Amino acid sequence: MKKILKEMFLHTKVVKSFKRLSDSLGVNSVSWRYDPIFISDKYSLDYHMEKFEDICSKLHEYTNDCTISFIDLYAKVKRNFKEAREVTISEQLIIGEEFSKIAEKYDIQLKTYVEGNLLEQFGFDCSGCMNQKVIEKAIGNTLKVPKENYKIRDCDCLFGRDIGAYNTCMHECIYCYANSHKLSTTFLSLQILILFSSVIKVLQIRSNGRILTYIQI
């Protein structure tokens, strides 16, 4: 099997960054995701139990919840991750039951991302990972939400505007549905970097009168 996370940051570095962010914003304002969950010879059920508990043990003092989901086999995912398969219902139930036991030990509320209500029986919050209650808790204030139908999925998450773009992430995770292939991702990311570097140069000129070169072409 190909390497799953080709260019991801070191696990220890991500954990440290998460803790710093929590210290700055508060435990109610940060959350983490353990997803997408997929099963293979290497990434077995036992593997997921071990890794999930390892991360819980490191983050439980810095967050109150965790969201999980199972891999979705979009066309791009099938092309880039040919070994991937759907996680069966029986496997989902095993994961749900075991994860809930681990999460209870670390006082972490588990949520699902667009996975229906299957895992509610194990104490999962299946209402939505970014609903009105979650956001109000994070910001410490109430929201006035329009009465019109804002739901776009089978959950109560508030309608949002994604600020990302396809084919721009350089991490090259093979389970990602946002990237077509490495060549198009590299080319588009370079274009965006050049665009933003030009903006930064202008800001530098206005602030201190000198140009800092970020990219040489």
pLDDT one digit per residue (tens) for the chain, 217 residues: 456 666 556 678 889 999 999 999 999 999 999 999 999 888 999 999 999 999 999 999 999 999 999 999 888 888 888 888 999 999 999 999 999 999 999 999 999 998 999 999 999 999 888 888 888 888 888 888 776 655 556 777 877 666 777 777 777 788 887 777 665 554 444 554 444 444 444 444 344 444 443 333 3
This prediction's pTM: 0.77
Predicted pLDDT of residue 3: 65
Distance between CA 159 and CA 146 in Å, rounded?
10
Question: Phi then psi for 69, rounded to 5 degrees?
Answer: -155, 165
Predicted pLDDT of residue 151: 55
3-state secondary structure of 5: coil
3-state secondary structure of 64: coil
The DSSP output letter for 93 is: H
Among residues 119, 97, 95, the alpha carbon closest in space to that of 44 is found at 95
Predicted pLDDT of residue 7: 52
Q: Order across the sheet with 109-112: list the strands.
A: 32-37, 65-70, 109-112
* Peptide linkage before 146 cis (omega within 30 of 0): no
* Per-position DSSP letters for 151-182, written without gaps between them: --SSS-PPP------TT---S--TT-SS-S-H
Predicted pLDDT of residue 182: 60
Buried b (16+ CB within 10 A) or exposed e, 107-141: ebebbbbebeeebeebebbbbbbbbbebbeebeee
Cβ-based burial of 80 (10 A; exposed 0-12, middle 13-18, buried ≥19): buried
- Provide the 10 A C-beta neighbour count for residue 162: 6
- Residue pair 88/118 in contact by the 8 Å Cβ criterion: no
Distance between CA 39 and CA 70 in Å, rounded?
9
Predicted pLDDT of residue 20: 95
pLDDT, tens only, 82-124: 888 999 999 999 999 999 999 999 999 999 998 999 999 999 9
Among residues 1, 109, 106, the alpha carbon closest in space to that of 53 is found at 106
Predicted pLDDT of residue 155: 76
